[in-house]
Structure 1
Amino acid sequence: MNWQKQRQHVLDRLAFLPGGTDREGNALLVVSTSQVQECSYENLVSLLALLSDTLPPSTLFTVLIDTRHIHLKQLKFYLRACQQALYKKMRQVLIIQPEKFLEQQKINFDLIVCGYTSKTVLISMHKLSKFVDVNQLPEQFGGTLGYDPDTWLSKRIEIKKWQNYLAEVDTDGSRHNPDEDQKLDEFVSKLQATKLVEDEYAANSLKKSIRELKAKEEENSKEGLIKDHTAGVSDFLDWIEGSGEKWLNSLCQVADNVDEAEGLVKQHEELTNKTKEIEEQSHQLAEMATRLMAACPQVAIVLQKTREQIRDVAEHFAYRVEAQTQFAVSNKNFREKVAEFIKKSDQMLEKVCAEDEKTVKPIEELTSTKKELDELVNSMNVAYESAMDAGEDTIAKARQYAEVLPAEEFVAHIASSLNYLSQKQNRHNELASVKRLEQQQHIQLMTTYGDCDQAIKWLGELKETLHREYSLSDIDEGAVRNLRNDRQDLDKTAISTYQYGKQLLSMAKNSERSSMKEGSTEERKEKLEAAWKELDLAIQNNEQRLKVVESFMATHRQMMERVNEIERSLRERLRVSGKLNSITLSTERKRLRHDVDELSKCGNLLSTQINADHTTTAQDRQNAIKQISDKIDEVMTAQRRMESLIGEEEEAGSSSSGKEEKHTPRKSRPLSKVPEEEGGDLSPVFPRAVRLLETNEGIAPAIRLSKNESYL
Structure 2
Amino acid sequence: QGLNGSSIAGLLQHGFVLLTGGRDSQGGPVVTLPSLQNRSDPSPDEVVTCLQYLIQIPSEETKRLGFSVVVDTRDGSWANLNMVMACLQKTVSSYVKQVLVVLHENDKRANQDRPSNSDPRYITVNQLFKYIDPKQLTYDLGGRMEYNHSIWLRTRLNYEQFLKDAQTTVEHLKIQEGEIQRSYNHPDPQASPLEALRKHRQFHEVIMTVPTEVIHQGQDVLKSLQENGFSGYSDNQGMIPTLDNLEAQKQVKRVLQYLTNRVDKLQEFLEDRDRSLNANMQYAEWKRNVKVVVDWVLGPGEKLLASQNDIGDSYEAAEELRKRHEEMEIKCTDTYGQYAELRHTVDDTVAAGLPIADDMKAERDYMDTVCRSFATRLERRRTLLITSVRFHRFAEELSACLDELLELFSSDVEADTVEAVEEAIKTLETKCDNCDRVAEQSLNDGQSLLDEMSRPIKNAFGKDISPDYSNQIKHVNKRLENLQERKMRCDELADVRKLKLQQLLQLRTCERDTDQAINWINELCDVMVTTHTDMGQSSDEVEALHDDHKKFEATALGTYEYGKQLLQAALVLRRSLRYDIEPNYDRAQRLEEAWRRFSKGT
Q: TM-score range by the shorter chain?
A: 0.3 to 0.5
**Rg bigger for which structure?**
1
